[in-house]
């Protein structure tokens, strides 16, 4: 019999530095403000309408491999050609599709490189490593904006295949300065620059005009932050020739029929309800941000997303644990070290959830 770890020599060496995504169990009855989900479910009438649409899905048939109706709904909403879209199971899968397709090393390089600011969405790094690419992070400046000189230096050193720029950025909640985004785009003609708009609904800022001006720019979008996280629907808006190439690495039927039907219904018939929920988050963000700013000892970064990025006086690990004991779960970034040892990310909840969060935070400082 072979040893129990017979497969170890066959694993990618990069996997040794990765851990599987396994969030800690959430105590029953807790207020969950750690995952940047919408706090509001669809209203009863909208849920009934959605149920009727889902009842028409033929579960004995494979899904539409092209997700034609969904593709057309997104294209209409964004003013783009349907063939410019690559759809996936959340933006996580789309990130993987992009990197898988664009993984050829540059001439003279052993591995393809991927570049992004830090801190930012962890899946850029995680996916690059899992595909044998080399991820390179560039620290944001003190205002959590793009630091252009270090970024230029890393672009020169590594000549990345792909640059990811999330704006608003997760976890900082900040919009990158438009002139700095344009500078990056002006200096990266043979690199795909992905403008991740996962949180754009909460900022009102989108980058379709930049993609029209710069043919190597792309946009990444998702339904997960606007109240439809369970659907796992995301997409990239790409130059059509690149989209056709990326489609070659997409698995058939990667987006199930129920998610396709629900996404179409929510982007069309239920769009007013989805947009209304976003505006409720924006209003609640402003109300609570003013109260956070009034708390002694906190540093609160103005947010353009659906969460707050705050620094506590001492240890984020201690404060988040104390809040958890009080029934409120938030995200601590202490494990990242350095200046992030004091940082918490707190998702905007309902008014009652946010009031409970404020009470727990005050008691935990």
pLDDT tens digit at each of 365 positions of the chain: 888 999 999 998 888 888 888 888 888 899 999 999 999 999 999 999 999 999 999 999 999 999 999 999 999 999 999 999 999 999 999 999 999 999 999 999 999 999 999 999 999 999 999 999 999 999 999 999 999 999 999 999 999 999 999 999 999 999 999 999 999 999 999 999 999 999 999 999 999 999 999 999 999 999 999 999 999 999 999 999 999 999 999 999 999 999 999 999 999 999 999 999 999 999 999 999 999 999 999 999 999 999 999 999 999 999 999 999 999 999 999 999 998 999 999 999 999 999 999 999 999 99
pTM assigned to the model: 0.96
Question: Which is nearest to 167 in space by CA: 139, 213, 206?
Answer: 206
State which H helix or E strand residue 139 sits in.
strand 134-139
Task: Specify the 3-state DSSP secondary structure of 46.
Answer: helix
Question: Mutual orientation of helices 257-267 and 68-78 as an angle, nearest 10°?
Answer: 30
DSSP 95-118: HHHHHHHT-PPPTT-SS-EEEEEE
> CA 60, 63, 64, 69 torsion: positive or negative?
positive
User: Cβ distance 125 to 7 under 8 Å?
Assistant: no
- The CATH number of 56-267 is 3.40.640.10
Burial degree of 189 (CB within 10 A; 0-12, 13-18, 19+): exposed
State which H helix or E strand residue 263 sits in.
helix 257-267
Burial degree of 71 (CB within 10 A; 0-12, 13-18, 19+): buried
Radius of gyration for the chain, computed over Cα atoms and rounded to the nearest angstrom:
21
Task: Specify the 3-state DSSP secondary structure of 301.
Answer: strand
Q: Which residues of 325-358 are buried (b: 16+ CB within 10 A; e: fewer)?
A: ebebbbbbbbeeeeebbbbbbbbbbeeebbebbb
Q: Which residues pair with 188 in a beta bridge?
A: none
> CA 51, 199, 23, 117 torsion: positive or negative?
positive
User: Cβ distance 218 to 193 under 8 Å?
Assistant: yes
Boundaries of every domain in the chain: 8-44+272-364, 56-267
Domain 8-44+272-364 has CATH 3.90.1150.10: yes
């Amino acid at each position: 019999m072979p040893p129990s770890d017979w497969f170890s020599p066959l694993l990618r060496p990069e996997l040794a530095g990765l851990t599987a995504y396994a969030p800690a169990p959430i105590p029953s009855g807790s207020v969950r403000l750690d995952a940047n989900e919408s706090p509001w479910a669809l209203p009863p009438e909208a849920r009934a309408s959605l149920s009727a649409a889902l009842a028409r899905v033929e579960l004995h048939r494979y899904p539409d491999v092209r997700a034609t109706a969904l593709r057309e709904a997104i294209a209409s909403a964004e003013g783009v050609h349907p063939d410019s879209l690559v759809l996936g199971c959340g933006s996580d899968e789309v990130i993987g599709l992009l990197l898988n397709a664009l993984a050829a090393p540059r001439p003279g390089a052993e591995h393809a490189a991927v570049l992004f600011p830090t801190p930012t969405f962890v899946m850029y790094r995680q996916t690059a490593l899992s595909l044998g690419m080399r991820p390179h992070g560039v620290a944001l400046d003190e205002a959590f904006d793009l630091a252009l000189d270090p970024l230029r230096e890393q672009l020169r050193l590594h000549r990345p295949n792909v640059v990811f720029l999330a704006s608003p950025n997760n976890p900082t909640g900040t919009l990158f300065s438009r002139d700095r985004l344009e500078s990056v785009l002006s200096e990266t003609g043979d690199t795909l620059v992905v403008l991740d708009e996962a949180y754009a609904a909460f900022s009102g800022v989108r980058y379709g005009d930049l993609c029209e001006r710069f043919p190597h720019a792309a946009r990444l979008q998702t339904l997960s932050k606007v109240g439809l996280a369970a659907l796992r629907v995301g997409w990239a808006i790409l130059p059509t020739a690149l989209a056709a190439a990326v489609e070659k690495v997409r698995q058939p039927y990667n987006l199930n029929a129920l998610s396709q039907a629900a996404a179409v219904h929510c982007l069309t018939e239920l769009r007013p309800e989805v947009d209304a929920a976003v505006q409720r988050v924006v209003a609640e963000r402003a109300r609570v941000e003013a109260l956070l700013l009034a708390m002694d000892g906190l540093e609160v970064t103005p947010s353009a997303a659906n969460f707050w990025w705050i620094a506590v006086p001492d240890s984020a690990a201690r404060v988040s644990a104390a809040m958890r004991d009080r029934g409120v779960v938030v995200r601590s970034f202490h494990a990242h070290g350095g200046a992030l040892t004091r940082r918490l990310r707190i998702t905007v909840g309902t008014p009652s959830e946010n009031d409970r969060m404020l009470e727990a935070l005050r008691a935990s400082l």
